[in-house]
Amino acid sequence: MLIGIATITFLLVNAMPGDPVRIMLGPGTDQATIDAVQSRYGLDQPLYERYFNYMAGVAQGDLGNSIHYNGVPVTEKILERLPVTLLLVASSFTLAISMAVPLGAIAARRQNKATDHVSRIIALIGVSTPSFWIGLMLIIVFAYQLNVFPSSGLIMPWAHPSDVPQAANRIEVLGSSLYHLVLPTITLGTLQTAAIMRIQRSSMLEVLNRDYITLAQAYGVSSRTVLRKHALRNAQLPVVTIIGIQLTTALGGAVLTETVFSINGMGTLIITAVESQDYPLIMGVTLFFGVIFVVGVLITDLLYAYLDPRITYGGGDH
Partner 1 sequence: MTQDPLLSVQNVTTQFVTEEGIVRAVDDLSFDVHRGETLGLVGESGAGKSVAIRSIMRLISSPGEIVSGTITYKGHVILDRSQGPDGEVRDGEAMLSEAEMRSKIRGREIALIFQDPMESLNPVFTIGSQLREFIEINRDLSNAEAKAEAIELLREVGIPEAESRYHEYPHQFSGGMRQRVLIAMALACKPDLIIADEPTTALDVTVEGQILDLIEQLKTEYETSFIWVTHDMGVVAEICDRVNVMYLGELIEQAPVDELFHETKHPYTEALLRSIPKPHETTGEFDPIRGIMPDGMNAPSGCRFHPRCPDAREVCMSVHPDLREIDDGQNAACLKYDVFDADYDDSPPLVVDENGERVPAETVESVGGDD
Task: Output the smallest distance, CB 121 to partner 1, in A.
Answer: 19
Residue 141, CB-side half-sphere exposure with 13 Å CA sphere: 7
Task: Enumerate residues 289-308 that contact partner 1 by CB under 8 A.
Answer: 307-308
Q: Is residue 234 close enough to count as binding partner 1 by CB under 8 A? A: yes
Q: Is residue 314 close enough to count as binding partner 1 by CB under 8 A? A: no
Q: Pick between residue 175 and residue 238 the one whose CB is nearest to partner 1.
A: 238
Q: What are φ and ψ of residue 72, in 5° steps? A: -65, 135
Task: Output the smallest distance, CB 93 to partner 1, in A.
Answer: 23
Q: Pick between residue 30 and residue 211 the one whose CB is nearest to partner 1.
A: 211
- Count of positions on this chain that bind partner 1 (CB under 8 A): 24
Q: Is residue 215 close enough to count as binding partner 1 by CB under 8 A? A: yes
CA 47-52-57 angle, to 5 degrees, is 125
Q: Is residue 217 close enough to count as binding partner 1 by CB under 8 A? A: yes
DSSP notation for 260-312: HTT--SHHHHHHHHHHTT-HHHHHHHHHHHHHHHHHHHHHHHHHHHHH-TT--
Cα–Cα distance, 242 to 100 (Å, whole number)? 12
Task: Enumerate residues 111-130 that contact partner 1 by CB under 8 A.
Answer: 111-112
Alpha helices in 142-231 (DSSP H): 170-208, 211-218, 223-225
Q: Are 281 and 66 in contact (CB under 8 A)?
A: yes
Q: What are φ and ψ of residue 65, in 5° steps? A: -115, 145
List the x/- string, 250-289, binding to partner 1 by CB under 8 A. ----------------------------------------
Cα–Cα distance, 119 to 125 (Å, whole number)? 10
List the x/- string, 156-195, binding to partner 1 by CB under 8 A. ----------------------------------------
Interacting residues toward partner 1 by CB under 8 A: 111-112, 208, 210-212, 214-223, 230, 233-234, 307-310, 317
